[in-house]
Amino acid sequence: MLNEVWRIALLGGIHAQRRRVSTDKFRTRKAAVLLAYLAMHAGRSHSRETLATLLWPDAEPALGLKSLGVALSSLRKLLEPAGAEPGSGRQGHVR
């Protein structure tokens, strides 16, 4: 299915469901917050710099970007459909 619908619940913890697959174990809390933020702002493009600053405001810019990359990678592994090429959606902006 190319356009699968996700259901993301933000109350009582962050849960994401697609079909019968439930993902309630995120690599880190920041990864869960990142998913929630992107879900709340769906359809918008976000620069990596903006997301890194939002989630790691006290980090040096390079460290914030590295942390964002790790969080995005963990979300991709958790949420990409089976058979998708890893990182196939990687671009300068997160959508």
Domain range summary for the chain, segments of one domain joined by +: 26-89
Mean pLDDT, 10 residues at a time, the chain of 95 residues: 66 72 73 89 91 97 97 87 62 48
d(CA 65, CA 49): 7
CB contact at 8 A, 73 and 90 = no
- Looking at residue 8, what is its pLDDT? 80
pLDDT at 55: 96
pTM of this structure: 0.70
d(CA 26, CA 84): 20
